[in-house]
Amino acid sequence: MRIGSNAAWLIGCRISANLLNLVLFVAISRYFGPAGIGSYSYGFAIAGFVYVFGSLGIDEYGIREYTRSSIAQRPVLLGRLLGTQFLMLALTTAGLAVYLLLTHASAATIGIVTALGVYQLGYAIARTLFIPALADQAMMGPALIELICRGGAFVVAAAMLVLAGWPLVAAISLFAAFGVLMAVLALNLARRHCRHVRVSISRSGLGSTVRILWSFAAAEVMGQVYGRIGLIVLTLQVSTQAAGLYATGGKFIETACMPFSYLGIAAYPRLSHLSISDNDGFVRLARNLWHVWIVLGGLALWGLFFVVPPLLVPLLGADFAAVGAVIELMMVLALMQVLEVILSRIMLATDLQVARVRIITGAALLSLLLNFVLVSDLKLPGAILATTLTMTVMNLFYAVAIHRRVAGLHLGSEFALLLTILLPGALIAWAVMALLHQPRHVAAIVSLLTLAIASLPLALRYWRRDPRLMPTAASQRGD
């Protein structure tokens, strides 16, 4: 129940913030077209490295260790993490300035990257300060703070574009103020869950923290590199317009996959605790999460394929009509992203962070190679294919590592269940449209019914297994 409640707060607030991000996305697309989206996405991609190098995966490691630490050890742990983070943020800021100089960035690019960099810096600090609340499974506070600050940045920037007619750089510059506000609110929240919140910097503490954090940090860095390779290669080899179409399709995929990420965050403290105290309980929770992922994943994929494409032109304009085909090409990639969320959470909870960073590093190198080879010939579809193949390989290696570490978690049967539920709906939808030549809305209804029927045995299994889900005599009488 606690996981469900936390997931509801995280999903509700963060999905709301991402919908507000979509409002800004629409505003930029309306006023600046694909080139404006490309510039905004490129600025976010570069500024994203401020978050990655500044956070070092501290939130992932910190939640796990804070959950396992005694009350007396927790302030010391949080202080060491903050001290390490502040040093890394200083180095990252200097590195970002050098990058902008070496690439001879334009004044507009420098303005966008700087504002978004400050925003990401504040976000990185806030995520570390959220650790005490998240580890205590009190996730309403962090969720509301992110909604206020992230959503506020998107809304105010969009309003300045639409109502005041500001240039793109001026509107994006407002992100910096919301990043600072997020860090201040997160500090106040941390003080309510931890006895002392102070920065601790010492040579011994820094050394011990870095020795542990390097794998989390490397995974975050390589994950960011991996996730942005397609966008950067398209920008360099094809055009900012192609990058804008790719980024737009990716934004809808990202929005659809957000609930799975937040459900994973809600379950992460409990998974981390059970992994060292109760293997059977860990396996049960991981399997239950997997089953929830399958059903929700089917609904998300259905919405992406049938609901999103008809809305693109009314929302974004005629220049984005081609994004519908891009999203259809990204369907397998969306499924791989859904699977990556739960597999990576299980790996972190079971102390497989070193294996994870090795797999992500290999995936980044493979993605770089495939993008350079395929984009030059296939352009935009080549970037989608390269990223899809890479993420598929990465998930397979994740599954192998988990199978070797966790006794009793049979991922082979879980993957078979995934195909049993999702594949019939996809095949029937294709047959209805391609062979029977029925309109899209007919295929949507048929595929949704197929998904519901395929999920019914799984739902009945849980209904019969959990007596709390059965109606009691009192409820049947209406008491």
Q: Is the pLDDT of residue 293 over 90?
A: no
Q: Is residue 415 part of a domain?
A: no
pLDDT score of 361 more than 70: yes
Among the ranges given (56-60, 159-163, 273-277, 301-305), the one the predictor scored with the smallest mean pLDDT: 56-60
Answer whether residue 477 shows pLDDT above 60. Answer: no
Determine the average pLDDT of the residues in 264-286. Answer: 84
pLDDT value at 476 more than 50: no
Give the domain extent around 334: 2-409
Q: Does position 216 have pLDDT exceeding 80, yes or no?
A: no
369 pLDDT more than 50: yes
pLDDT the model gives residue 394: 92
pLDDT band at 323 (very low <50, low <70, confident <90, very high): confident
Percent of the chain with pLDDT over 90: 8
- Per-residue pLDDT at 479: 35
**Of the given ranges (2-6, 17-21, 445-449), which has the lowest mean pLDDT?**
2-6
How far out from the chain centre does Cα 137 lie? 19
**Residue 284: its pLDDT value, please?**
87
Lowest mean pLDDT: which of 52-66, 135-149, 168-182, 278-292? 52-66
233 domain residue, yes or no: yes
Find the length of the chain.
479
pLDDT band at 468 (very low <50, low <70, confident <90, very high): very low
pLDDT of the residue at 478: 37
pLDDT at position 469, please? 40
Number of domains in the chain: 1
Contact present, 348 and 360 (Cβ < 8 Å): no
Q: Quick one: pLDDT at residue 149?
A: 92
Between CA 61 and CA 68 the distance in angstroms is: 11
Q: Predicted confidence band at 345 (pLDDT cuts at 50, 70, 90)?
A: confident
Alpha carbon 228 to its chain's center: 13
pLDDT tens digit sequence for 420-453 = 888 887 888 878 887 777 887 788 888 888 888 8
Would you say residue 453 lies in a domain? no
- How does residue 30 score in pLDDT terms, banded at 50, 70 and 90? confident
Q: Which tokens belong to 1?
A: 């129940």
The mean per-residue pLDDT over the stretch 17-43 comes to: 80
| pLDDT above 70: percentage of residues in the chain | 92
The answer to whether position 179 is within a domain reads: yes
Name the pLDDT band for 464 (thresholds 50, 70, 90). Answer: low
> Is residue 425 one of the residues assigned to a domain?
no
Please report which confidence band the pLDDT of residue 1 belongs to, taking 50, 70 and 90 as the band edges. Answer: low
Q: What is the reported pLDDT for 177? A: 93
Question: What pLDDT was estimated at residue 319?
Answer: 73
Question: Does some domain include residue 418?
Answer: no
Note whether residue 132 is domain-resident: yes
Residue 119 pLDDT exceeds 50? yes
Q: Is residue 450 part of a domain?
A: no
For position 470, what pLDDT does the model report?
A: 40
CA geometry: angle 280, 282, 283, nearest 5 deg? 65
Query: Residue 169's pLDDT is what?
Result: 84
Residue 392: predicted pLDDT: 92
